[in-house]
Each structure stands twice: as C-alpha cells, then as structure tokens.
Amino acid sequence: MKSDNYLIIPDYHAPFGHPRALEFCKQLQSDFNVPKENVYCLGDFEDQYNLGRWPKSADRKHTAVQEIEITKDEVKKWAKAFPLLNMCTSNHGSRIAKKAFDAELPSQLLRNYEEIFSYPKGWNLKEEFIVCATKHEFVVQHGEGFSGVKGHIDAAMTNGISTCIGHLHSFAGVSHIKTKHQEIWAVNSGCLIDQESYAFEYSKHSKFKATIGAAVILDGGRWPIWVPLK
C-alpha cells in the first residue's frame, strides 16, 4: 500500500541555504517513506538577494547575474532529488515582478519565473496547495501576511483548516487547536538557511534566531511533526 505521508520543505533561500539541507530533506523523504509526488516546498527557495529593496552588503560575493546562475545550479540538484516538487509562490519569489512593477514594465516584457530559474517540467508552482485527497485535509502555503510566534496558528485559524507555513524563520513547531466544531493543527516549518551568510546580516542582532529544520505530515495528514536539522 502506498504511503500517505508528506514532506514539507521550508525556505531555503538559494544560494544561501544550509550546506546540509538537501541531504537532510532526502533523508527525511527516505526515513518517512514519502512518495515523490507528496513533496512540497513552502516557497522562498530562491533568495534573489540582489533584487531586494533593502540596502545590500558591501561584502557581498555575488552580482545579480552570478546569483541567478548559482541558483539555477541549485535548482538542478534539488530537481534531481525531488522531480515532482510542489512549490508555493512567495515574497522572495516575487522580487522580479516587484522590480518590474516599480519600473512600470508591462508583463509582456517579462520572462516566466520558471523559465528564468530553469524549473523542470515536473515542478508545480502555485500560490497554495489544498491537500484534500487524504484522511485529514490541510493547506500548504508560504505564510506571507502572518508574523510572530503565533503566526502559524493565525494562518490555520484564518484558513479554517490545518495549515503548514514557512516564511517565519523563527518559532518552528506544531500547535493543535480544538474548538467546539473542529480540531486542526498548525505548523511553522522553520527554514533551511545558512544563518552565517551575508544575506542574513540583517538578523545578526535579532533576539530570535532561525530554527533550522523541516516538517513531515504523517498518517494522511493526521500527524504533523517538525524535525530539526542537527
């Protein structure tokens, strides 16, 4: 019988991801017997540091062109491991579109996002995924618009069903919410960044640091777990 388990990969921010992130996610898929079509990424797979609106580090090692080319190499590696990845759109993923909007460029002049980063045909890019052909339905989305230690709970309560988000690099974990009429869960799956990279200098003095790991959803959506990368 085919497994009804799911792997949820949080923000990687290529090319500034944790050096062990890919092997970690491959191991989770193997350990928890996750079918290749049940692998989801919560977005912010690419950082697009050079296209951000914030001041850039004078010590940055990549031009915008170099960053894109290195990121494309990262996509190839992850695509080989996860050929049917379901990818959420996200705020870092929309940086190109935001730059074009600020420059008042019509959409007809822009290349498709998947084309820019050479996404394989098997990758599916959507704003969110509703996983409903299972025992306990749940939503997989990036999580933009939510913040703080209870951001994942707010997302689940807003959606009205169990929800897994990324976006919030700190406070990873699982919460269970029971009301008079329903019982749902909420997952903040943390991130898979390299905290020491210059791309994250902005958070150097933040009170709360990044929680590095990923989530797995077991037993047809009924059992969410957050697994730290150790």
pLDDT reported for residue 124:
95
The stretch 140-147 carries a mean pLDDT of 95
Compute CA 56 distance to the chain's CA centroid, rounded to the nearest angstrom: 23
The stretch 209-225 carries a mean pLDDT of 97
pLDDT reported for residue 152:
97
The stretch 5-31 carries a mean pLDDT of 97
pLDDT digits (tens, 9 = 90+) for 180-204: 888 999 999 999 999 989 888 877 7
Residue ranges covered by each domain of the chain:
6-126+190-228
- 184: part of which helix (H) or strand (E)? strand 183-188
Q: Which of 33-37, 68-72, 97-101 has the lowest mean pLDDT?
A: 97-101
Supply angle C-alpha 152, 86, 15, rounded to 5.
Answer: 80
What is the pTM (predicted TM-score) of this model? 0.92
- 41: part of which helix (H) or strand (E)? strand 39-41
Name every residue whose Cβ is closer than 8 Å to that of residue 85 and which is 6 or more positions away in sequence.
9, 39, 40, 41, 78, 79, 122, 123, 124
pLDDT at 79 exceeding the cut of 90: yes
Of the chain, the percentage scoring pLDDT greater than 70 comes to 99
Mean pLDDT of all residues belonging to the chain? 91
pLDDT at 39 exceeding the cut of 80: yes
pLDDT at 1 exceeding the cut of 70: no
